[in-house]
Each structure stands twice: as C-alpha cells, then as structure tokens.
Structure 1
C-alpha cells in the first residue's frame, strides 16, 4: 500500500484521529473539564437567581468572567506559543479546580442576612478568577491539537474536538439541572470538583508539548502579539468567520436568560430548566456527530451564513413561545445550526493558521468567543432590565439576522469559502 493510498484511507476514516492514544487522552480530559465547567455555569446561574431574584445578576456574572478573559487573551496567546502546552494546560485546569473548591466552601454558608451578600460577592470573585484561567486553557486546548495529530487529520480531529466539547456541554447542562434538584448546591459542586480532578489526571498522560522552534530574530511580547492580530485581520476568511460569530452570538444568545424563562414564563423547576439549558447542546452534538461521519464537501462558507441566519430565527421563536415543548424545540434547532457554525469556523481556523502562531490566533478566537458569550450574557441581562424579558430576546434575534445580511455583502471571500 502506497503512502498516498494510506493517507486517503485515513482521511476517509471518521475514527482516524480517535485511534491515536494521545488524542483520546486529550479528548477525555477535555470532556471531563468542559462537563464540569458547564455544570458550574448552570449551577451559578440558578444559584444567583435564587439569591438575588434579579436577571441583571446573571448578566453581571458573564461580565465578571469576560473582562479578565478578554483583557488577557492576546498576552495568553503569546505565552502559549512560547510554553510547553501540556504543562500550561495542567496548571490552568488545576487553578480552575481551585475556584470550584472556593465555591464549594461558599455553599456551606447560610444564606440569611448579611451572609447572602457575602456569598454573592464570593461567587463573583471566583468567576472572575475562572476568567483569568480560561484565557489560557481555552486557546491551549485548541493550540495543542496540531501537536497531537498530523496535519492531514486536522479536519477530522477538529470535528471530534468540537463534538467532544458539545457532548460535554450538553451533559454538563442537563446533569447540572438534575444534580441541583437531587443533591443541592453543595452536592453539585462536589461532583464538579471530582470531574475536574479526573480531567486533570487524563491530561497529565499526554507527553510534553514544547514550543515549536521559530526561525528568525527573537520577538518582544508586543511584536509577537501584533503579529498574531495582523494575521487574523489579513486572513479575510478567518476574520469574517470570527466577526460573524461575535455579533451573532452577542445579540442572539438567549441561554443567559433561560433561568428566567424557566421560572417566570414557562413555570418549570430545576429539571425543566436543566433540559432547556441542554436543548441547544443536544441539537449541536447531533449535528456534529452527523458531520463527523458525513462531512460537508463544498460550499461551507455559504452554509455558515444560512446556519447563523436560521439560529437567529430560532431565538425569536424561543422568545415568543409560552409552551415548554416549543421552547425546547426552538433551542434544539438553534443548537443544530450553531453546531454547523462551530465546525466550519473551527476547521477554517485550524487549516489557515501556521503552527508557530496557533496560540496567538486561538487566543484572538477565544477573545471573540468570550466577547460574544460572556459580554452577550451581560447584554442580555441589561436589555432584559431595560426592554423587558421577551422583547429583549426578540430584539437580539432580529439583530442576528441583520448581522448575517450585512456580513454576506461585506465578506464575499467567506461566502465563497470551501475546504
């Protein structure tokens, strides 16, 4: 069998990257870590709303995480490119676990009188620190991928990577709701700490991943950061995909308001809340699994636009729904369409980025994602306070559609993108 024939067989094998032991350890560790992270976000949203009864409090929790994550994003990319990625990943996950332990200790406190203010403040402090650690761990998970699998398997590995993230996310969201109902806040946080520890153990089995040598003169930190930013702005397909994701999720993210819809509109408890929280991720993992076995062969850029536009329509339907099953289906389909967007954007980033710049480019990507998710969460809380719950989410869905139409005409190279 020739090398070319073997490569073609590998590329057509949907399990090609999974057959690599290191990739399996990375995906297992990431699954456990992301599952814990999503359980924590589910718990914190529910916990804060119970403590304060204010939708803005959930918006502020997104801001508390986004500010340090965005502020450190460019610097973290420079550090990732110069560091052993395995060691950096282990440190980041361990420190995230320390924040989970801090929340666990807070959960033992009583919630009466002045202690309630103390607990709320402590939650914000812990989430602020998770934002710092996330600015390093998020891009590092993506940057290490190219050192774990060969380049001809990157597209396959990226799809599995996104599928792992989404499967962990849906499991974490759904399990978070069930665990809150049956174990309470303290029990749920105990499970989160255990999952992070197990994830840390799996990641530790990966071999060291030292920085790749770069020819030429040693750059300063500022020059290194500038180089990464210039690459993103110079590569129009990457910039277009990131911009589309940034503004679409910034305006169209209804997930932050799911606890309020669950309690005040749909009148469901923690279990119903858990299912609503998981609905988008269930849809996303279904479509990612489908794309793993039947990858898109052409017109990926055009399909990205249709997917984000459909996502905005689903958000509008969710906002207007008064029925639990209709709300669940709207979020389910929004997740399926978002899954297409995630796979296309992730593959474009992996294929277009040089190996010695992966940390910086993935950090710029992380900055966009943090902006869209956490700042979007803050925007949702503010708009819900100013416009009312339902009108604010309808407005966000309409703005998503406007962003899609605008980007369609402003980024023709992304629209025509194929890989």
Structure 2
C-alpha cells in the first residue's frame, strides 16, 4: 500500500478529515444547485444569480484575515468542527424556508451571509491543517488525494442535488443537513493533530503577517494572484442556471450534470496526479492549466449544444485542477507552519474573490452584454491574464521544480 497514491489513508487523522470534507462538500454542492434554481425560478433575473456569490463573499472578505490569525492561535480541528456546525445551521434554515414556501429571495441571501462567515474561518484552518495530518514525505499524495476526493464530491453533489430537486428543494436541504451532521461528528471525534503555534495578541501587525509574507515571495504572489484574476473573469459557473434554461434548454437534472462536469474533470485529473505527480516544469504546467480553463470558457459561451457544453466544462475542471495542485504545493512548501494559517487566509481571499466575486462579475456583465457574450468575454479575459502573468512573473512561468519545504519558524 505504501507504493501507491492511497497509502496516505493509513494516517487515521487524515482519513477522518478527508471523509468529513467529502460529506460536507457533497452537502454544499447539492444545496448550490437548489439555491441557484430556486432564485432564478423566483426572479428570472441574472443579477440575482450574481448576488448569490456576493452574499457569500462580502462577509468572507471582511473576516478572512482575522480567521487566518485564529487558525494559527487555536486548534484547527476545533475550528473546522465549529464551522461545519454553522453550515449545518444554515442548511436547516434553508430547509425551513423551503417548507414554509418562501416567495422572496432576501432571506436566502441573509443565510448565505452566515455561510460566508463560517467559510471564512473554515478556509484557512482547512488549508493549514493538511500538512499537520501526514508526514512530509506523504504531503504531495495527501494534496492530490484530498483534491481528488473534494472533486468527486463536487461531481456527485450537483448531480444528486439535481435529481433530488425533482422531489422539491426541501428534500435537497434535508439530505444536505444529514450529510453535514455526519461531517460534524467525524471532525469532533477525530484526533487533533500537532501544530506549531506561537501565541500572540490579535494586533494588525500579527493579522497582516500572512499578507506581508505573500508580498515578500514573488513566486507565492504570482501563483495565487494568477488564480484570482484568471478565474475572476472566467467565473461562468454562476450563469449555468440561465445557460441551462435559456440556451441549452435543460431542466434541474441537466443543470446538475453541467455543475458536475468541472468536478468530474478535476477529479480525473487529480487521481492521475496522485499516481503521477508533477515534479518537473511546474511553472509551465500551472500556466497551461489556466490557459485550458480560458479556452474552454470561450467554447462554453459559444455553443448551444449540451454535449459540447459538458465537454468544455469537463476540460475546464481538468485545467483548473492542474493549476490548483501546483499552486497549493508552492504555497505550502514556501510557508512556515507558525504562519501557515495566515498565509492560507490570504490564499483564501484570492480564491474567494476569484470564485464568489467572479460570480458577481459574471452576473453584472451578463446584464450588460447578454448571457453568451458575457461568458465568451470572461474566457478571453482569462487568456489575456495568463499571458500578462507570464510576463510579470517570468521566474514562476519558467520554474522547473518545487522549492524545498520551508523551515518551521518564519524568522529563521
């Protein structure tokens, strides 16, 4: 077992963490399908689809840097458990809205603000804890297996959500609540891994330590800012409910398959990476993955074929997975454990901005230019960003191997 990509599962703490993450992701992905379809069915307004992302991103942006400080000062397992419990509360509230027959959208946005707050604290702890769960020699396998498992959940979640939506959104939220309850129990009863902590007061200096570290490392800054600006313009997934309804002419089940396709591509790619990890030409691999993402976004906006749209989304997921894999290893290898939570918080800001703010940008541009033009515009912008970042960060674009892991003290 030690010779294959699944050997990392022998570490009990990692197995508990992985299972809890899978169930939690399944629940969230199922609910995203139900939320998007409900909001569009009630309003038929593209702007409100963008507001779904903004409602989650606004509290995330406000809280993420303090959340990174918290992840370095307190037990990361306990933080993740509490955040999963908050997501469970959000799921139960969405279920209650559906049962009573909600006819306005503002309560949905209100609970998504609570979800975004929980995700702000969960993000840095989730990213930072992984290196504490396995020995250094198994870390790259853990990253690949964690990513592949995450994307398997991203595959199954929307499909399951689309199928369950046939019986009503309240069924989707009920099943999601049950899965989140399992996640909470798994994390609560898992063994807390050791982590390097350095207790210090929550001053602006300590909270911004991660930001200073990122801007002092051009390789780290280039990697995470590439994801920010590339996916910011290529966030077409927010428009999938409208594409499914107005362009591809499919229902909730079809929407579930469309939302599944990027996760399927990412999962297949990450499984391959677990057995054949990238060790050479890491910079060109990362930029190539982002370029594939941009090209496939253009194809998605230009087609009215359901099959071609699925294929484009599948390849988008694979390209994104390559970029995510390289970026995650770069950031974790470059960062000392004592400030890993704060650096992960900065990384989460960039990721969150690219996803939720990208969804808001897609909703706004769709209102300005039209649905398909907005998607095509996003793909072209992603390709332009890729070319610009290769010029701005030439060392990163030509990087051959990953750096050696950072030492445990930021001051060493």
Scaled by the length of structure 2, the TM-score of the pair is 0.95
**Match for residue 43 of structure 1 among 27, 34, 53:** 34
> Does 2:254 align with 1:310?
no
| 1:324 shift after superposition | 0.7
Aligned twin of 2:406: none
> Does 2:319 align with 1:332?
no
**Alpha-carbon distance in 2 for matches of 1:54, 1:196:** 30
8 Å Cα contact 1:85/1:210 also seen in 2: no
Cα distance change, pair 107–242 in 1 and its aligned pair in 2 (3 A): same
Cα distance change, pair 68–220 in 1 and its aligned pair in 2 (3 A): closer
**Match for residue 136 of structure 2 among 151, 156, 164:** 151
**Runs in 1 of length 4+ with deviation above 3 angstroms?**
217-220
**Alpha-carbon distance in 1 for matches of 2:99, 2:38:** 13
Q: State the superposition RMSD in angstroms.
A: 1.4
**Match for residue 195 of structure 1 among 155, 172, 179:** 179
> Does 2:243 align with 1:261?
yes
8 Å Cα contact 1:154/1:351 also seen in 2: no
Aligned twin of 1:71: 62
| 1:386 shift after superposition | 0.5
**Match for residue 405 of structure 1 among 381, 387, 392:** 387
Aligned twin of 1:212: 196
**Match for residue 85 of structure 2 among 82, 94, 112:** 94
Aligned twin of 1:85: 76
8 Å Cα contact 1:63/1:378 also seen in 2: yes
| 1:213 shift after superposition | 3.7
| 1:133 shift after superposition | 0.4
8 Å Cα contact 2:226/2:385 also seen in 1: yes
Aligned twin of 2:95: 104
Please give the secondary structure, in 2, of the residue aligned with 1:207: coil
Scaled by the length of structure 1, the TM-score of the pair is 0.93
| 1:152 shift after superposition | 2.1
| 1:236 shift after superposition | 1.4
Aligned twin of 1:226: 208
| 1:39 shift after superposition | 1.1
**Alpha-carbon distance in 2 for matches of 1:212, 1:54:** 48
Please give the secondary structure, in 1, of the residue aligned with 2:168: helix
| 1:211 shift after superposition | 5.2
| 1:310 shift after superposition | 1.3
**Match for residue 298 of structure 1 among 248, 259, 280:** 280
| 1:212 shift after superposition | 2.1
Q: Which moved more, 1:219-228 or 1:205-214?
A: 205-214
Please give the secondary structure, in 2, of the residue aligned with 1:404: helix
Aligned twin of 1:30: 21
Q: What are the ranges of 5 or more consecutive residues in structure 1 without an aligned counterpart?
A: 1-8
Aligned twin of 1:165: 150
Please give the secondary structure, in 2, of the residue aligned with 1:392: helix
Aligned twin of 1:3: none
Please give the secondary structure, in 2, of the residue aligned with 1:144: helix
The alignment covers a number of residue pairs equal to 401
